[in-house]
Protein backbone atom coordinates (compact mmCIF):
# COMPACT_ATOMS: atom_id res chain seq x y z
CA UNK A 1 0.00 0.00 0.00
CA UNK A 2 1.35 3.41 -0.97
CA UNK A 3 1.29 5.77 2.03
CA UNK A 4 0.27 9.40 1.70
CA UNK A 5 2.06 12.10 3.65
CA UNK A 6 1.22 15.76 4.03
CA UNK A 7 3.58 18.66 3.41
CA UNK A 8 3.40 22.44 3.17
CA UNK A 9 1.87 23.72 -0.05
CA UNK A 10 4.08 26.75 0.46
CA UNK A 11 6.93 26.09 2.86
CA UNK A 12 8.44 29.16 4.55
CA UNK A 13 11.93 27.76 3.88
CA UNK A 14 11.27 27.76 0.12
CA UNK A 15 12.18 24.12 -0.27
CA UNK A 16 15.35 23.94 1.82
CA UNK A 17 14.21 20.75 3.53
CA UNK A 18 13.77 22.26 6.97
CA UNK A 19 10.08 21.43 7.39
CA UNK A 20 9.47 18.09 9.04
CA UNK A 21 7.99 16.31 6.04
CA UNK A 22 11.66 16.05 4.97
CA UNK A 23 12.19 13.49 7.75
CA UNK A 24 9.41 11.30 6.47
CA UNK A 25 10.41 11.68 2.83
CA UNK A 26 14.01 10.74 3.63
CA UNK A 27 12.96 7.70 5.67
CA UNK A 28 10.68 6.48 2.90
CA UNK A 29 13.45 6.98 0.34
CA UNK A 30 15.95 5.10 2.51
CA UNK A 31 13.70 2.04 2.68
CA UNK A 32 12.62 2.26 -0.96
CA UNK A 33 8.93 2.83 -0.22
CA UNK A 34 7.13 4.98 -2.83
CA UNK A 35 4.73 7.54 -1.39
CA UNK A 36 2.15 10.12 -2.35
CA UNK A 37 2.14 13.67 -1.05
CA UNK A 38 -0.87 15.84 -0.30
CA UNK A 39 0.06 19.49 -0.06
CA UNK A 40 -1.80 21.56 2.49
CA UNK A 41 -2.12 25.29 2.99
CA UNK A 42 -1.68 26.97 6.39
CA UNK A 43 -5.42 27.61 6.40
CA UNK A 44 -6.48 24.07 5.54
CA UNK A 45 -4.15 22.59 8.18
CA UNK A 46 -6.30 24.19 10.86
CA UNK A 47 -9.61 22.95 9.44
CA UNK A 48 -11.50 19.95 10.83
CA UNK A 49 -10.66 17.62 7.92
CA UNK A 50 -6.93 17.94 8.55
CA UNK A 51 -7.34 18.02 12.33
CA UNK A 52 -8.88 14.56 12.13
CA UNK A 53 -5.45 13.43 10.95
CA UNK A 54 -3.42 15.76 13.12
CA UNK A 55 -4.93 17.04 16.37
CA UNK A 56 -2.57 20.03 16.42
CA UNK A 57 -3.24 21.06 12.83
CA UNK A 58 0.32 20.52 11.59
CA UNK A 59 2.35 18.61 9.03
CA UNK A 60 3.56 15.96 8.53
CA UNK A 61 0.88 13.28 8.70
CA UNK A 62 1.09 9.73 7.42
CA UNK A 63 -1.82 7.70 6.07
CA UNK A 64 -1.51 4.05 5.18
CA UNK A 65 -4.83 2.30 4.71
CA UNK A 66 -6.70 2.64 8.00
CA UNK A 67 -3.63 3.85 9.84
CA UNK A 68 -3.20 7.57 10.44
CA UNK A 69 -0.10 8.86 12.21
CA UNK A 70 1.23 12.25 13.18
CA UNK A 71 4.52 13.24 14.92
CA UNK A 72 7.50 12.82 12.66
CA UNK A 73 9.40 10.70 15.20
CA UNK A 74 6.54 8.20 15.50
CA UNK A 75 6.20 8.10 11.72
CA UNK A 76 9.92 7.38 11.26
CA UNK A 77 9.77 4.64 13.89
CA UNK A 78 6.76 3.09 12.16
CA UNK A 79 8.53 3.11 8.79
CA UNK A 80 11.73 1.77 10.35
CA UNK A 81 9.93 -1.09 12.08
CA UNK A 82 8.19 -2.24 8.94
CA UNK A 83 11.02 -1.97 6.45
CA UNK A 84 14.67 -2.90 6.44
CA UNK A 85 17.22 -0.11 6.29
CA UNK A 86 16.70 2.17 9.26
CA UNK A 87 17.09 -0.13 12.27
CA UNK A 88 19.59 -2.95 12.87
CA UNK A 89 18.40 -6.56 13.13
CA UNK A 90 20.15 -7.19 16.45
CA UNK A 91 17.71 -6.38 19.27
CA UNK A 92 20.18 -4.45 21.42
CA UNK A 93 21.57 -2.47 18.49
CA UNK A 94 17.97 -1.74 17.46
CA UNK A 95 17.16 -0.43 20.94
CA UNK A 96 20.24 1.78 20.83
CA UNK A 97 19.29 3.19 17.42
CA UNK A 98 15.82 4.01 18.77
CA UNK A 99 17.51 5.67 21.75
CA UNK A 100 19.35 7.96 19.31
CA UNK A 101 16.05 8.81 17.64
CA UNK A 102 14.72 9.96 20.99
CA UNK A 103 17.98 11.76 21.78
CA UNK A 104 17.74 13.73 18.54
CA UNK A 105 14.16 14.79 19.24
CA UNK A 106 14.13 15.13 23.02
CA UNK A 107 17.65 16.21 23.92
CA UNK A 108 19.33 17.89 20.95
CA UNK A 109 16.41 19.49 19.11
CA UNK A 110 14.69 21.40 21.97
CA UNK A 111 17.45 23.98 22.61
CA UNK A 112 17.91 24.43 18.84
CA UNK A 113 14.20 25.16 18.38
CA UNK A 114 14.19 27.39 21.44
CA UNK A 115 17.06 29.40 19.98
CA UNK A 116 15.09 29.91 16.77
CA UNK A 117 12.07 31.01 18.74
CA UNK A 118 14.10 33.55 20.68
CA UNK A 119 15.65 34.84 17.44
CA UNK A 120 12.41 35.21 15.55
CA UNK A 121 9.79 35.84 18.21
CA UNK A 122 11.62 37.63 21.00
CA UNK A 123 13.80 39.96 18.97
CA UNK A 124 13.41 43.49 20.36
CA UNK A 125 12.11 42.35 23.73
CA UNK A 126 13.92 43.79 26.76
CA UNK A 127 15.40 40.40 27.68
CA UNK A 128 16.51 39.43 24.16
CA UNK A 129 20.21 40.43 24.34
CA UNK A 130 20.63 38.61 27.63
CA UNK A 131 18.61 35.53 26.74
CA UNK A 132 20.08 34.68 23.32
CA UNK A 133 23.61 33.86 24.56
CA UNK A 134 22.14 31.74 27.36
CA UNK A 135 20.16 29.66 24.86
CA UNK A 136 23.14 29.46 22.49
CA UNK A 137 25.21 28.09 25.33
CA UNK A 138 22.60 25.37 25.85
CA UNK A 139 22.80 24.49 22.17
CA UNK A 140 26.60 24.38 22.34
CA UNK A 141 26.57 22.19 25.43
CA UNK A 142 24.54 19.58 23.53
CA UNK A 143 26.72 19.86 20.43
CA UNK A 144 29.86 19.51 22.49
CA UNK A 145 28.67 16.29 24.10
CA UNK A 146 27.38 14.93 20.82
CA UNK A 147 30.63 15.78 19.08
CA UNK A 148 32.64 13.94 21.74
CA UNK A 149 30.41 10.87 21.44
CA UNK A 150 30.49 10.81 17.64
CA UNK A 151 34.28 11.22 17.61
CA UNK A 152 35.76 10.06 14.33
CA UNK A 153 32.99 7.60 13.50
CA UNK A 154 30.68 7.94 10.51
CA UNK A 155 27.40 7.34 12.37
CA UNK A 156 26.20 7.40 15.95
CA UNK A 157 26.15 3.66 16.58
CA UNK A 158 27.46 1.40 13.83
CA UNK A 159 25.58 1.55 10.55
CA UNK A 160 23.39 4.48 9.49
CA UNK A 161 20.04 4.33 11.30
CA UNK A 162 16.85 6.25 11.95
CA UNK A 163 18.77 7.87 14.81
CA UNK A 164 21.24 9.36 12.34
CA UNK A 165 18.45 10.41 10.00
CA UNK A 166 16.77 12.43 12.72
CA UNK A 167 20.01 13.75 14.21
CA UNK A 168 21.32 14.97 10.84
CA UNK A 169 18.06 16.82 10.15
CA UNK A 170 17.97 18.32 13.63
CA UNK A 171 21.56 19.57 13.21
CA UNK A 172 20.74 20.93 9.75
CA UNK A 173 18.58 23.51 11.47
CA UNK A 174 21.85 25.13 12.55
CA UNK A 175 23.23 25.47 9.02
CA UNK A 176 23.94 29.10 8.28
CA UNK A 177 24.15 30.05 11.95
CA UNK A 178 27.94 29.65 12.17
CA UNK A 179 27.54 27.46 15.25
CA UNK A 180 27.98 24.08 13.61
CA UNK A 181 31.37 24.96 12.09
CA UNK A 182 32.83 25.00 15.61
CA UNK A 183 32.21 21.23 15.70
CA UNK A 184 33.98 19.96 12.55
CA UNK A 185 33.03 16.32 13.04
CA UNK A 186 29.35 17.31 13.34
CA UNK A 187 29.57 19.42 10.17
CA UNK A 188 31.09 16.44 8.35
CA UNK A 189 28.42 14.17 9.84
CA UNK A 190 25.65 16.39 8.47
CA UNK A 191 27.38 16.51 5.07
CA UNK A 192 27.66 12.71 5.13
CA UNK A 193 23.92 12.43 5.69
CA UNK A 194 23.17 14.97 2.97
CA UNK A 195 25.35 12.99 0.54
CA UNK A 196 23.17 9.89 0.80
CA UNK A 197 21.25 9.23 -2.42
CA UNK A 198 18.00 8.80 -0.46
CA UNK A 199 18.50 12.19 1.19
CA UNK A 200 19.06 13.80 -2.19
CA UNK A 201 15.91 12.25 -3.66
CA UNK A 202 13.87 13.44 -0.68
CA UNK A 203 15.40 16.92 -0.82
CA UNK A 204 14.78 17.24 -4.55
CA UNK A 205 11.17 16.10 -4.15
CA UNK A 206 10.34 18.70 -1.53
CA UNK A 207 12.30 21.40 -3.39
CA UNK A 208 10.27 20.63 -6.52
CA UNK A 209 7.12 21.71 -4.65
CA UNK A 210 8.64 25.18 -4.36
CA UNK A 211 10.30 25.43 -7.77
CA UNK A 212 7.20 24.22 -9.61
CA UNK A 213 5.34 27.24 -8.20
CA UNK A 214 7.93 29.79 -9.29
CA UNK A 215 7.09 31.28 -12.69
CA UNK A 216 10.12 31.21 -14.94
CA UNK A 217 12.04 28.82 -12.73
CA UNK A 218 12.93 25.37 -13.90
CA UNK A 219 13.21 22.45 -11.53
CA UNK A 220 16.85 22.07 -10.52
CA UNK A 221 17.85 25.44 -11.95
CA UNK A 222 18.27 28.14 -9.34
N1 LIG B 1 6.48 17.47 16.84
C2 LIG B 1 5.89 17.59 15.53
C3 LIG B 1 6.56 16.60 14.57
O4 LIG B 1 7.75 16.29 14.79
O5 LIG B 1 5.92 16.13 13.63
C6 LIG B 1 6.05 19.02 15.07
C7 LIG B 1 5.35 19.26 13.75
C8 LIG B 1 5.58 20.68 13.28
O9 LIG B 1 6.19 21.51 13.98
N10 LIG B 1 5.07 20.97 12.10
C11 LIG B 1 5.23 22.30 11.54
C12 LIG B 1 3.86 22.87 11.21
O13 LIG B 1 2.99 22.19 10.73
C14 LIG B 1 6.03 22.21 10.25
S15 LIG B 1 7.69 21.63 10.57
N16 LIG B 1 3.69 24.17 11.47
C17 LIG B 1 2.49 24.86 11.16
C18 LIG B 1 1.70 25.17 12.38
O19 LIG B 1 2.04 24.73 13.49
O20 LIG B 1 0.70 25.88 12.21
C21 LIG B 1 8.41 23.08 11.45
C22 LIG B 1 9.11 23.97 10.48
C23 LIG B 1 8.40 24.77 9.64
C24 LIG B 1 9.07 25.61 8.75
C25 LIG B 1 10.44 25.63 8.75
N26 LIG B 1 11.13 26.50 7.85
O27 LIG B 1 10.53 27.07 6.96
O28 LIG B 1 12.36 26.68 8.00
C29 LIG B 1 11.15 24.81 9.61
C30 LIG B 1 10.48 23.97 10.48
| Of residues 134, 136, 155, the one with CA closest to residue 146 | 155
pLDDT-derived band of residue 28, with 50, 70 and 90 as boundaries? very high
Q: How far is the CA of 89 from the centre of ligand 1 (A)?
A: 31
Assess contact for 203 and 22: CB atoms under 8 A: yes
Residue 60 CA: which ligand 1 atom is closest? 5
* Residues forming CATH 3.40.30.10 domain(s) in the chain: 4-85+198-211
User: What tens digit of pLDDT does each residue of 203-216 get?
Assistant: 999 999 999 987 65
User: What tens digit of pLDDT does each residue of 113-162 get?
Assistant: 999 999 999 999 999 999 999 999 999 999 999 999 999 999 999 999 99
* Residues forming CATH 1.20.1050.10 domain(s) in the chain: 91-196
Assess contact for 199 and 4: CB atoms under 8 A: no
CATH number attached to the domain at 4-85+198-211: 3.40.30.10
pLDDT-derived band of residue 221, with 50, 70 and 90 as boundaries? very low
Average pLDDT score over residue span 160-184? 97
CATH number attached to the domain at 91-196: 1.20.1050.10
Dihedral of alpha carbons 155, 159, 163, 167, sign: positive
pLDDT above 80 (res 218): no
- Quick check: bond before 123 cis, omega within 30? no
User: What tens digit of pLDDT does each residue of 59-86 get?
Assistant: 999 999 999 999 999 999 999 999 999 9
The ligand 1 site (C-beta within 6 Å) comprises 11-13, 18-20, 45, 57-60, 71-73
Q: Provide the percentage of residues in the chain whose pLDDT is more than 90.
A: 95
Amino acid sequence: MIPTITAFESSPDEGQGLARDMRVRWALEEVGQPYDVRLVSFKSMKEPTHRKLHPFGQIPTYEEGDLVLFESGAIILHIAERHAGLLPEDANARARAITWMFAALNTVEPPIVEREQVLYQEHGKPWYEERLPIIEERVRARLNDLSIRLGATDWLDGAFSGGDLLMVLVLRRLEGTGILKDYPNLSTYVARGEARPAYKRAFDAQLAVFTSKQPGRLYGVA
